[in-house]
């Protein structure tokens, strides 16, 4: 069984919510895209991270599996998607993180459907966060926001299948009405 890192999934969701808010205007689409990239990085890392502190608590901490990331880096070098001369993995590279995740999990949570977009936006966080730098992208879009939104839903569903009891996972997608007693199911007075 894969380690579950629900707080990382919740963190990715929070960056997604920020990205959705920022894309609504005020000339902030670039910042929205960067937030989506950070959220995607965290979501991908959640599949290759293990709890390493505060186990079972709301502030549980995680450490990425450096061996899985290094193996993905080496694989991508063989496919020429990373220069053969690059010695060390870039732990912000979304494509490296994608390939660090076991293929059956990538397929189950539908990550494989988004490989193209993950590759296209693999360096947004590192290359686009400083608009004023030479070589920074001059255009932005919200595609990564949509991809992350879809993936969060799939990942939460998968976590529920794994019987994760984390409050965020259990309550994800619920509305206040979901917490109200159903008609005819009111508690009886004692």
Give 71-83 pLDDT, tens digit per residue: 999 999 999 999 9
Collect contacts of 49-52 with beta carbons under 8 A, ≥24 apart: 49/3, 49/5, 49/8, 50/3, 50/5, 51/3, 51/5
The answer to whether residue 27 sits within a structural domain is yes
Q: Please check whether residue 190 lies inside any domain of the structure.
A: no
Q: Is residue 19 part of a domain?
A: yes
Q: Residue 188: inside a domain, yes or no?
A: no
26 has pLDDT over 80: no
Q: What is the pLDDT of residues 116-170, one digit of tens each?
A: 999 999 998 887 676 667 777 777 889 999 999 999 999 999 999 999 999 999 9
* Domain with 145 in it: 6-179
The number of folded domains in the chain is 1
Q: Tell me the whole-structure pTM to 2 decimals.
A: 0.88
pLDDT in tens, 81-111: 999 999 999 999 999 999 999 999 999 999 9
Instruction: Give the tokens for residue 6.
Output: 């629900």
């Amino acid at each position: 069984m894969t380690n579950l890192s629900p707080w990382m999934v919740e963190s990715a969701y929070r960056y997604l919510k920020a990205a959705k808010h920022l894309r609504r205007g005020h000339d902030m689409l670039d910042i929205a895209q960067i937030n989506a990239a950070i959220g995607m990085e965290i979501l991908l890392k959640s599949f290759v991270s293990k709890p390493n502190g505060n186990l079972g608590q709301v502030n549980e901490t995680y450490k990425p599996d450096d061996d899985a990331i290094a193996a993905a880096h080496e694989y991508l070098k063989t496919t020429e998607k990373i220069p053969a001369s690059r010695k060390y993995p870039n732990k912000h590279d979304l494509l490296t993180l994608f390939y660090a995740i076991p293929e059956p999990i990538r397929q189950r949570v539908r990550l494989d459907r988004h490989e193209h977009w993950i590759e296209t936006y693999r360096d947004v966080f590192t290359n686009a966060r400083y608009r004023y730098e030479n070589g920074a992208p001059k255009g932005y879009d919200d595609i990564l926001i949509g991809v992350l939104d879809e993936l969060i839903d799939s990942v939460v569903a998968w976590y529920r299948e794994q019987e994760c009891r984390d409050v965020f996972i259990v309550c994800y997608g619920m509305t206040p009405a979901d917490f109200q007693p159903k008609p005819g199911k009111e508690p009886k007075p004692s």
